[in-house]
Each structure stands twice: as structure tokens, then as C-alpha cells.
Amino acid sequence: MKLRVEKESFLKAVGIISGAVSQRSTMQILANILIETTGKDQIRLTGTDLELGIVCTTATEILEEGSITIPAKKIHDIVKELPQGIFELVVAKNNTVTIKNEKSYFKLVGLPKDDFPKLPEPQKESSLEVEQKLLKESLALTTFAVSHDETRYVLNGVLCLVENKIIKIVATDGRRLAYVKKELPTAGNFKIEAIIPTKTVQELNKILGEQGTVKITPVGNQVIFSVGDIQLVSRLIEGHFPNYEQVVPKEEKAVAILDCQKFLSAVRRASLLTSPESQAVKLDVTKNKLLISSRSPNLGESREELDSEVKGDDIVIGFNPNYLIDVLRNIGVDTVTVSFSHPDKPAIVRGKEGYLCVIMPMQLN
């Protein structure tokens, strides 16, 4: 294989697929990226850790066709330090790889393509196209609630459910639940119920933009997301996601309408005087105001009053401030509505249409 490659486009492609490359595996081939010609003045780069795979194509001048796998970190670091412009990448018959331009020369030991894991190909007959912006926003509104407790493996991802032209994205860690529901005019009879791992969601967020569509294709226990010249292939988490609809409180005894940024800033300030022994911030919900306070015996205390439109009963309730901060900084609206039913029952934060976040209360000291 012999290529003439433009530095910036190659680096961008390597950066995209590096999110799927394993640096910890005992299998040396998984620390490599696969580079192969496609016969159309393009090369295809692939990285995988067996759970997640990313494929990216980029334009290149092909002087001689072929394929090779090269250590991902080394090729990235070498090309990054090259001057701007074109460099040459040549593979010899013994799998050594030469990277050179007019004044620089590097030689790397590669491995043949044969041992590199093969990723599934998307099937045309069972895919769904979704606006990138819609999916990106839905993931931002939910991903923060994913559990990082590996003993609750089924919660280590987001549930994606598509049925009857409706897409639902749900995440929970058992103490809070984020849920978004959107209409899909182009979904037809497409159905999917899949738990997508957190790492996949993080890498998908990097490649999703504000324009265009993303194609979602289920393939057995995997799913493929196609965005332009990039394909992201992920294994799905197997198991049954909890019944999220049972978690949402059915009654509302008090509702507070608040300026989102002012509420967020006040909660952040109150959180400064919480401690591991006194983690909660206290909300006193009364007529036309919300009092936010925190108190820690070894640190001190804070109190702040916010103007609020309050309907219903007075209520005093405590929350982990980080849970409130996570939803308020991601919700992307000017005004939020917080519904309360009882000091021992979850509250609901609403803002965008079709979205809610359920947060369990904390006991106040």
C-alpha cells in the first residue's frame, strides 16, 4: 500500500476513531487502527475495542492499494508533529510502515489486516433516519442521569425506544430519572428497544452536529449509527430496563415556576456549604417565593430567596444539589417548572416539551 495523505484530514479521522481504540486490552491488535484503501481515492480507518467500533473514510491519493493496522497512539502522535501539508505512507511486504515527507522519516511495525475484528455492515431494509440535532439534544437531556455503578449494569446506558413514530430516550441511576419523548414523522413502522452503553453515547455526541440526519440501524445485539462518512457500531446492553413510567409521581401538591439560570446559580451557591455529612440543600416552597438554604455544622450556612410563581401547598424538601445542577444546566430553557407532591416523594423538573426529570429527595438533618 502506498498513499499520499493530507495531514489535517488524516488527523481528524484518526481522532474520531481513537475513541473506540482499546489501550488496555491484552490483544495487541485492538490498540491498532485498520487503514485500508476502498478503490475510490479514499481510505477507510477503523478502530474497535470489541464493544464499540468506529469507521471513518477520508479522501487520499492512492498510489498502490492495500491494508495495514498501525498502533493508533503512535501514528497519531507522529502525524501530529509533522509540518502542514502532504505526507507519504508506505507499507512494505513485511508489514513495516514508513511515514515520510521531504525532511522527516519514521518507520513503524504494523500488523496485517487478517486478525483485525470484522464489524457488522448496516442492513438497508431496517434503518431509521433522525435529525442529528434532535438526537443530540435528547442525549444531552438524559445522559447525565446514567448510573456508573457497575453492579447495576443494565443502568449503565440510555434506553432508546422507537415505536409508533415516537422516540423515547430514558436514563436513570435509581435516584433520578431523565426522560424525553419526541415525534418522528418519518419513522413509519420502524421499531427498536435498545440500551446503548454510556461510552457509545459519549462518542456519538462527539460526531453529531446541528445539521443533517443520523441513520440508526439495528443488527442483532448491536446498533449502527451512520453520520456522513462516519459509522459508529456498538454492542447493546442486554437485560430489562426498569419500568420508568412507574417512577413518575401522579399527583402534584405544589408547583413552582422559576427562572432557570437564577435557580441554577442559587443552587450552585447553596452547594458550596454542603458536606459529606450534610449533602442536601433545602427548598422552602411558599407563596410567591422559594427559599434555598444549606447548612453544614463544620462549614457554616447559606440562605437565598428567589422570586417564584408558586401554586398549591407550602412544602419543605431536601435534594442533592448536584442532581438539580445537572438538569438545570442541560435543559436549555429560560423557565422551568418544579412539581412537588410530598417531602418524601420525588419532584419533577420540566422545561422543554416532552421532557421531564424525576429527582428523589434527601432527608434533611
Last residue of a domain, one of 245, 270, 295: 245
Instruction: Tell me: do 76 and 106 sit in the same domain.
Output: yes
In a domain, 9, yes or no: yes
For residue 298, give the CATH number of its domain. Answer: 3.10.150.10
Q: Flag whether the pTM goes above 0.85.
A: yes
C-alpha cell recorded at residue 107: 518507520
Strands of the sheet containing 222-227, edge to edge, are 67-71, 32-37, 42-48, 52-59, 230-235, 222-227, 213-219, 128-131
Instruction: Tell me: do 214 and 277 sit in the same domain.
Output: no
- The total number of structural domains in the chain stands at 3
User: Which of 160, 141, 142 has its CA nearest to residue 217?
Assistant: 160
In a domain, 121, yes or no: no
In a domain, 63, yes or no: yes
Residues 58-68 have pLDDT tens digits of 999 999 999 99
Full domain range(s) for residue 211: 126-245
Instruction: Tell me: do 67 and 17 sit in the same domain.
Output: yes
Neighbouring CB atoms inside 10 A of 264's CB total 18
Q: At what angle do helices 72-81 and 7-17 cross, to 10 degrees?
A: 150
Q: What is the pLDDT along the chain (365 residues), one digit of tens a residue?
A: 999 999 999 999 999 999 999 878 788 899 999 999 997 899 999 999 999 999 999 999 999 999 999 999 999 999 999 999 999 999 999 999 999 998 899 999 999 999 899 998 776 668 899 999 999 999 999 999 999 998 889 999 999 999 989 999 999 999 999 999 999 987 778 889 999 999 999 999 999 999 999 999 999 899 999 999 999 999 999 999 999 888 898 889 999 999 999 999 999 999 999 998 899 999 999 988 999 999 998 889 999 999 999 999 999 999 999 999 999 999 999 999 999 999 999 999 999 899 999 999 998 87
Instruction: Tell me: do 241 and 276 sit in the same domain.
Output: no
Instruction: Tell me: do 68 and 108 sit in the same domain.
Output: yes
Residues 277-335 have pLDDT tens digits of 899 999 999 988 999 999 998 889 999 999 999 999 999 999 999 999 999 999 999 99
Angle at 295 between CA 293 and CA 300, to 5 degrees: 115
C-alpha cell recorded at residue 308: 417564584
Last residue of a domain, one of 66, 81, 115: 115
Whole-number Å distance between alpha carbons of 222 and 213: 20
In a domain, 185, yes or no: yes
Instruction: Tell me: do 221 and 146 sit in the same domain.
Output: yes
Instruction: Tell me: do 175 and 70 sit in the same domain.
Output: no
Residue 133, SS3 per DSSP = helix
Instruction: Tell me: do 241 and 138 sit in the same domain.
Output: yes
Last residue of a domain, one of 51, 83, 115: 115
In a domain, 196, yes or no: yes
